[in-house]
Structure 1
Amino acid sequence: MKPALILSVLAAATLAACAHSHNRSSSAQPDHSAAEQPVQAVASKYGFDETVARIEKAVKAKGMTVFTVIDHQAAAKANGLTMQPAKVIVFGTPKAGTPLMVKDPYFALQLPLRVLVTENNGKTEAVFNDTRALIRGSRIAYGDVENTLANAEKLIRATVSQ
């Protein structure tokens, strides 16, 4: 066999192996079925500022850390733009996240958790990634997160609706 042909075959095999090893999901198209929406939106029975404060307080009360709060409306205003109130609360705890990132290092792109509080037409909502959608395509099983990430989702729901 000629050296050029051998190199071509090796290159093709290497590219195929790389493509296979980095394809982490079962399909190229995301599944947006009703059973597994990528985000969940929950109407808050509180105003915008109170919803943000309640979520921050609830997260801290459960021993999690609020790493930062991103105020999109303030950033827009600082750049001469206007938009509805929108803050993203970034939170989590290494006790829950570290074992997941050890199991699947790519999962670090999904952590820490985030919740958007926004207001449209006078109605405040808390919007967050659905737990099952968050782990889809990862090496993380629902059983690995049902007592951690899934509980954060329940905490947000309860905090804004009770």
Structure 2
Amino acid sequence: MGEKSLSDNGERESMATDARRLVADGGSDDGLVTVESDADVETSVERVKDAIESNDDLGLMAEFDHEANADSVDRDLQPTTVLVFGNPDLGTPLLQSARTLAIDLPQKLLIMQRADGTVTVTYNDPAYLADRHGVDEGDERLDTVSDALSSLAAVAAGQE
């Protein structure tokens, strides 16, 4: 993911602690990792899209602007965007080991503004997905997916 990585265990541990704090504050369900962004939703989304576009191993497959969708039916919703992205070369072997993973792949990042104005970036924890679908957690591809997700979340949050 670009030039920076969150391979340093201390930095990853700090993000995990921040994510647990947000969960404790009522911000997440089991299996989700959430970090706080230093920017608005639009800026956070653009950061991730730029990082995906500059990475030859990833492709952006879809973008869902739930706020705009709500507006189209005269309903209000805080800014809420989901980016769907992946790497078929990495995801296909995982799907071959557990086809039910197809319900959770490709990967997604949820970037949203909470009622208090805080912007968060949330994604599925690959270890949780592995357990959910019976994938061997020792699979090195899961580490690659986890590193990519934490890096993209850090980019979106301005913690790069």
Which TM-score bucket, shorter chain as reference? 0.7 to 0.9
**Equivalent pair of 1:58/1:155 in contact (CA under 8 Å):** no
TM-score, length of structure 1 as denominator length:
0.72
Q: 1:130 aligns with which of 116, 125, 128?
A: 125
In the alignment of these two chains, the number of paired residues is 128
Other-structure match for 2:21? none
Structure 1 gaps, min length 5: 1-33
Residue type at the aligned position of 1:42: V
Q: Deviations over 1:73-124 (max 9, x none)?
A: 0010001100100000000010110000111111111100011000122221
Bigger drift between 131-140 and 84-93 goes to: 131-140
Partner of 2:150: 154
Q: Is 2:55 the partner of 1:59?
A: no
The yes-or-no answer on 1:47 pairing with 2:40 is: yes
CA distance in 2, matches of 1:58, 1:44: 16
The amino acid across from 2:136 in the alignment is A
Deviation at 1:66, TM superposition (A): 0.6
Q: Does the 8 Å contact 1:37/1:130 carry over to 2?
A: no
Partner SS, residue 90 of structure 1: strand
| Separation (CA, whole Å) in 2 of partners of 1:106 and 1:157 | 25
1:137: how far off? 2.8
**Aligned counterparts of 1:147 and 1:60: Cα–Cα separation in 2:** 21
| Bigger radius of gyration | 1
Is the partner of 2:51 in helix, strand or coil?
helix
TM superposition outliers: structure 1 runs of 4+ over 3 Å: none
Residue 94 of structure 1 is matched in structure 2 by 88
Q: Structure 2 unaligned segments of length 5 or more: list them.
A: 1-23
- Could you list the per-position Cα deviations for residues 22-55 of structure 1 after superposition, in whole angstroms to 9, with x for gaps in the alignment? xxxxxxxxxxxx9x94111100112211100001
Contact 1:47 1:124 in 2 (8 A): yes
C-alpha root-mean-square deviation of aligned residues, in Å? Answer: 1.8
Contact 2:38 2:119 in 1 (8 A): yes
Matches of 2:33 and 2:113, distance apart in 1: 15
